[in-house]
């Protein structure tokens, strides 16, 4: 089999992983030179840095002044679990899911918390559930952006302002790239390693006054691990939301998050971050619209993510393969791109339909995505030729 000619240009940064995501442009280890290494996070220096991270998060995300922001353990997963185990129980729960992480929260609530009054409102990969089915007199758990399906809610208009229940929103691949309607959200979680390209292991938990009221008025029937406890004596532990973390944070990872936040502020804050992600998505979307072998997994243009862009291989010859064959073909395309050093970690999530997943968040340069697009055609053609030769 003859190798096909390679495209002329290569991405300067081939890191298109959906998490951990690319560092901000111009990043180097020198950006972490001021990290409080070997110092206690409870010392003045450490507390000041943790407080600065909270303050900058509030400023850039435009979080209301009366919402609490806390740095918590175990990434976005830890933040969501803290909310689920601490807040759910007083009323029925609507669990809304359309991809693997949302499905994971469904599993936790159904099989671990075993609450008696649960409704599941679900949709397959590529689609959004019927949001009109949600009863906001109940508590509601949902993802803003489906990281593994590329499907997001367009806005918060579907959430009533006079709701009786709490809205618990996993926003980890949306925060800093999409506009979150905080007035409609009582709990918002995300992790450092997504849109701002920080390091893993730390999560952010944002609570509305309504969520705080629930915490102070409700005691769950189950034992609460220390890492989940946010109240003492019926009162919120305010220190958690001022930088006094529940357990020891990485001061190196904290410095990296601070560097990303400062960069975000310097380039123009949330407006600039959203614009960068939108421009990046537009590059991929334009390419897909003219492609005869790729399609957006998200069927409705209004719900397509501008960060975790998920693509299906729709070439008739490949679509005719069984599921294992389709997955093997997609992995072959990904492996070719990796071997050429032009795109790392862009395979579909393990539970998602076979295809590609390209991160388009704000730390990715538009020029790198523009350089990548011809390589997708090359890798597809090369892999298809290999498949035909083996037949």
- For range 83-97, the mean pLDDT: 98
| 235, pLDDT greater than 70 | yes
Sequence-separated (6 or more) residues with CB below 8 Å from residue 210: 166, 186
Q: Distance (Å, rounded) from C-alpha 172 to C-alpha 206? A: 12
Contact 360, 369 (CB under 8 A): yes
Bond before 20 cis per omega within 30 degrees: yes
Same domain, 191 and 340: no
Among the listed residues 197, 257, 258, the one whose alpha carbon sits nearest the alpha carbon of residue 21 = 197
Q: Domain for residue 228, yes or no?
A: yes
> Tokens representing 357?
């997943």
Query: Could you list the residue range(s) of the whole structural domain that residue 82 is in?
Result: 29-265
- For range 344-366, the mean pLDDT: 97
Determine the Cα angle at 166 with ends 54 and 222, to 5°.
Answer: 90
For the domain that residue 154 is a member of, what is the CATH number? 3.40.640.10
Domain count, the chain: 2
pLDDT attached to residue 390: 87
| 118, pLDDT greater than 60 | yes
Q: Domain for residue 18, yes or no?
A: no
- For range 179-188, the mean pLDDT: 98
Q: Domain for residue 21, yes or no?
A: no
Distance (Å) of CA 371 to CA 6, 238, 338: 12, 48, 15
Q: Domain for residue 251, yes or no?
A: yes
| 194, pLDDT greater than 80 | yes
- For range 376-390, the mean pLDDT: 95
| HSE-up of residue 186 (Cα within 13 Å, Cβ side) | 27
Same domain, 79 and 140: yes
pLDDT attached to residue 132: 98
The confidence band for 1, taking pLDDT boundaries of 50, 70 and 90, is low
For the domain that residue 375 is a member of, what is the CATH number? 3.90.1150.10
pLDDT attached to residue 334: 98
Determine the Cα angle at 32 with ends 27 and 36, to 5°.
Answer: 165
Q: Among 234, 265, 296, identify where a domain stops.
A: 265
Can you list the alpha helix ranges (DSSP code H) found in the chain?
44-61, 75-87, 100-107, 209-217, 251-267, 269-289, 316-319, 323-340, 366-390
pLDDT attached to residue 370: 98
Q: Domain for residue 20, yes or no?
A: no
Nearest-Å Rg of the Cα atoms of the chain is: 22
pLDDT attached to residue 3: 80
Contact 100, 170 (CB under 8 A): no
Same domain, 56 and 119: yes
Contact 13, 369 (CB under 8 A): no
- For range 111-139, the mean pLDDT: 98
Same domain, 58 and 184: yes
List, for residues 300-333, the tens digit of each pLDDT value: 999 999 999 999 999 999 999 999 999 999 999 9
User: Is 314 buried (19+), middle (13-18) or exposed (0-12) by CB count in 10 A?
Assistant: middle
Q: Domain for residue 12, yes or no?
A: no
Same domain, 226 and 313: no
Same domain, 231 and 304: no
| HSE-up of residue 343 (Cα within 13 Å, Cβ side) | 29
Q: Distance (Å, rounded) from C-alpha 124 to C-alpha 128? A: 8
Same domain, 134 and 275: no
Question: 327-333 contacts: CB < 8 A, separation 24 or more?
Answer: 327/354, 329/354, 329/383, 329/384, 329/387, 330/354, 330/355, 330/356, 332/383, 332/386, 332/387, 333/376, 333/379, 333/380, 333/383
Contact 77, 202 (CB under 8 A): no
The confidence band for 60, taking pLDDT boundaries of 50, 70 and 90, is very high
Which residue, chain included where needed, has tokens 């003219």? 290
Same domain, 74 and 183: yes
Same domain, 177 and 324: no
Same domain, 119 and 58: yes
Same domain, 89 and 195: yes
Q: Distance (Å, rounded) from C-alpha 325 to C-alpha 318? A: 8
Q: Among 238, 265, 292, identify where a domain stops.
A: 265
Q: Among 265, 287, 316, identify where a domain stops.
A: 265
| 391, pLDDT greater than 90 | no
Contact 79, 211 (CB under 8 A): no
- For range 35-40, the mean pLDDT: 97
Same domain, 193 and 121: yes
pLDDT attached to residue 2: 67
Distance (Å) of CA 196 to CA 15, 61, 264: 13, 12, 8
What is the rounded average pLDDT for all residues in the chain? 97
Q: How far is CA 105 from its chain centroid?
A: 14
Q: Domain for residue 23, yes or no?
A: no
Percentage of the chain exceeding pLDDT 70: 99
Q: Distance (Å, rounded) from C-alpha 153 to C-alpha 45? A: 40
Can you list the alpha helix ranges (DSSP code H) found in 91-208?
100-107
Q: Domain for residue 63, yes or no?
A: yes
């Amino acid at each position: 089999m003859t190798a096909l000619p390679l495209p002329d240009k290569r991405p300067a940064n081939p890191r298109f992983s959906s998490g951990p995501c690319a560092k901000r442009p111009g990043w180097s280890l020198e950006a972490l030179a001021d990290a409080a290494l070997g110092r206690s996070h409870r010392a003045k220096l450490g507390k000041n840095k943790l407080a600065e991270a909270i303050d900058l998060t509030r400023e850039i995300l435009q979080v209301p002044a009366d919402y609490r922001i806390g740095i918590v353990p175990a990434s976005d997963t830890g933040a969501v679990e803290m909310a689920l185990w601490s807040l759910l129980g007083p009323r029925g729960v609507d669990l809304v899911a359309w991809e693997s992480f949302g499905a994971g929260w469904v599993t936790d609530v159904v099989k671990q918390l075993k609450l008696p009054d649960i409704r599941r409102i679900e949709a397959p990969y590529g689609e959004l559930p019927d949001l009109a089915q949600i009863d906001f007199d109940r508590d509601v758990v949902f993802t803003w952006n489906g990281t593994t399906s590329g499907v997001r809610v367009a806005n918060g208009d579907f959430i009533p302002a006079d709701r009786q229940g709490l809205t618990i929103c996993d926003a980890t691949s949306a925060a800093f790239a999409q506009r979150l309607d905080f007035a409609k959200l009582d709990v918002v979680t995300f992790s450092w390693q997504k849109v701002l390209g920080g390091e893993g292991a730390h999560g952010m938990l944002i609570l509305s006054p309504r969520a705080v009221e629930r915490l102070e008025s409700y005691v769950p029937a189950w034992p609460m691990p220390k890492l989940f406890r946010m109240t003492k004596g019926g009162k919120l532990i305010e220190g958690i939301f001022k930088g006094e973390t529940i357990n020891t944070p990485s001061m190196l990872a904290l410095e990296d998050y601070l560097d990303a936040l400062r960069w975000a502020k310097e380039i123009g804050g949330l407006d600039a971050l959203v614009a960068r992600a939108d421009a990046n998505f537009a590059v991929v979307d334009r390419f897909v619209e003219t492609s005869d072998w790729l399609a957006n997994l998200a069927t409705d243009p209004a719900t397509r993510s501008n960060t975790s862009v998920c693509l299906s291989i729709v070439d008739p010859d490949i679509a005719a393969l069984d599921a294992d064959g389709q997955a093997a073909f997609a992995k072959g395309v990904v492996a070719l791109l990796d071997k050429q050093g032009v795109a790392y970690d862009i395979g579909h999530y393990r539970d998602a339909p076979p295809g590609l997943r390209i991160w388009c968040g704000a730390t990715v340069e538009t020029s790198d995505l523009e350089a990548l697009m011809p390589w997708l055609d090359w890798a597809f053609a090369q892999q298809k030729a290999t498949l035909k030769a083996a037949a």
